[in-house]
Structure 1
């Protein structure tokens, strides 16, 4: 198996045109059995690296997932992170902001949930909603109580992109490594998955009329994503456009990107001092006497 993660990374400064990025690529697995084997290997390796990450306590890792409805964010998180110790990982899903959150700047509510050093934070949707759904539905901005001068349509999005990039650079300088995934789903595949949610009773709860209404803004969302990815993919916090029409392939690509990120940290377990070694030997002798 060979996954070149650079194939999916948005270079800093590149103007993204999503119709030039595939929603489906050649599978990296040859069968369902092979898929499970590769994923299991990735999960086991990630579990080992996560323990090292927790013990070394030098970096924080933040994974951000953004996508259209039915792209498979929840499933990717569930499968890829299935072997991670829950004590070292937290998942946050950001929906409509509360009244208290609306009284703060648009980055405030997510800042409360940033991971500590030694831990993994996962944002299922994030502060990027404020340059995506808020751009497609500008009426949302009117409910945020912002000053009139901030609501300048010619500048507000560039200013928000700048705030996001500044925040992510700040986090990088302080030891947080950020990986951002856009699960790139085709409009046709979304239609099929919506039909599955209707046809399969156990999936009915996932579907609402609002999903169909948002589907009507597909073109506007693609334009918003293109502008967002172009403005905020940086060397310190890159975006990865992951083909999402094949869920299994999506999970393997994501898990490889996460693994590569952890390996690049060059982590090691804390060294034990000579004084500590002496203490441990004293404890060993006490335990041996108790045997």
Structure 2
């Protein structure tokens, strides 16, 4: 398996991709996802866990809204992982993650995830390399447990934006009234640690890869949404789900 290195992967859509045609394809996929979600709920044999990682302003919230927002809310939920609480810190680092994993028939979206415990913690020196290696092994084991013992399909997306695009989006939050609520002065300080983050992300992609990562070029939201929707559609379609008959 080829090593992942973010610096060598474009953050933009290929030049030959037509924006309007791609958006039309996305709309069609989202309609078909509605039926696939109904099958997932009715059959109740599989679960889908969608992990979304990315730097600040990479478009995580928008991806969740625009790809999953039209689905049946009874069968999809979002868990946003912020700094752990005192209770969560009193347990192992995966306790709060496993508790939030989807039940069969459900789609669960992690807005940030267990990977923060081997990313931001390392960037700021809260977790040493030896501990991080142990944590990444534990992450692989947990993801294997979910896939093999609960029929959980796991999709892991990294929303890949450029430093230039990130700065433009962060600046937009300072003057766009619709986005000011997202403004956090600390985001600009974190952005200065870009190279550190990229190094630890690269290591993470190449160590926690039993469930593969999907690197999503995200400078253009329409392309990001198309790629995520397509992957979710393909994953659910391959399950060959069927509606159960009448209960006897």
TM-score, normalisation: structure 1: 0.81
Which residue of structure 2 lines up, in the alignment, with residue 156 of structure 1?
Answer: 131
Runs of 4+ in structure 1 over 6 Å off: none
1:166 pairs with 125, 132, 141, which one? 141
Conserved? CA contact 2:23–2:226, under 8 Å: no
Q: Using the alignment, how far apart are the partners of 2:227 and 2:95 within structure 1?
A: 31
Deviates most, 77-86 or 36-45: 36-45
Question: Is 1:18 aligned to residue 6 of structure 2?
Answer: yes
Per-residue CA deviations over 1:150-178 (Å, capped at 9, x if unaligned) read xxx35212111100000101111121110
Which residue of structure 1 lines up, in the alignment, with residue 167 of structure 2?
Answer: 191
Unaligned residue ranges in structure 2 (runs of 5+) = none
Deviates most, 194-203 or 125-134: 194-203
Please give the secondary structure, in 1, of the residue aligned with 2:178. helix
Which residue of structure 2 lines up, in the alignment, with residue 227 of structure 1?
Answer: 203
Please give the secondary structure, in 2, of the residue aligned with 1:163. helix
Residues 60 and 80 (structure 1), Cα distance of their counterparts in 2 relative to 1, 3 Å cut: same
Which residue of structure 1 lines up, in the alignment, with residue 185 of structure 2?
Answer: 209
Residues 154 and 202 (structure 1), Cα distance of their counterparts in 2 relative to 1, 3 Å cut: closer
Conserved? CA contact 1:27–1:249, under 8 Å: no
Conserved? CA contact 2:156–2:214, under 8 Å: yes
Matches of residues 77-116 of structure 1 in structure 2 within 5 Å?
Answer: 77-116=64-103
Q: Using the alignment, how far apart are the partners of 1:27 and 1:109 within structure 2?
A: 42
Conserved? CA contact 2:26–2:230, under 8 Å: no
Q: CA deviation at 1:39?
A: 2.4
Please give the secondary structure, in 2, of the residue aligned with 1:51. helix
Q: Using the alignment, how far apart are the partners of 2:14 and 2:23 within structure 1?
A: 17
Task: Let me know the Cα RMSD of the aligned residues.
Answer: 1.5
2:18 pairs with 14, 30, 35, which one? 30
Q: CA deviation at 1:21?
A: 1.2
Question: Is 1:257 aligned to residue 218 of structure 2?
Answer: no
Residues 98 and 217 (structure 1), Cα distance of their counterparts in 2 relative to 1, 3 Å cut: same
Question: Is 1:123 aligned to residue 97 of structure 2?
Answer: no
Residues 154 and 197 (structure 1), Cα distance of their counterparts in 2 relative to 1, 3 Å cut: closer
Per-residue CA deviations over 1:102-123 (Å, capped at 9, x if unaligned) read 0000000111111100110100
Please give the secondary structure, in 2, of the residue aligned with 1:271. coil
Per-residue CA deviations over 1:222-256 (Å, capped at 9, x if unaligned) read 0010000110122xx22100001111100001000
Aligned length: 247
Q: Using the alignment, how far apart are the partners of 2:82 and 2:143 within structure 1?
A: 21
Per-residue CA deviations over 1:40-80 (Å, capped at 9, x if unaligned) read 21111111000001111100100000000001011011010
Q: Using the alignment, how far apart are the partners of 1:36 and 1:251 within structure 2?
A: 9
Which residue of structure 2 lines up, in the alignment, with residue 266 of structure 1?
Answer: 240
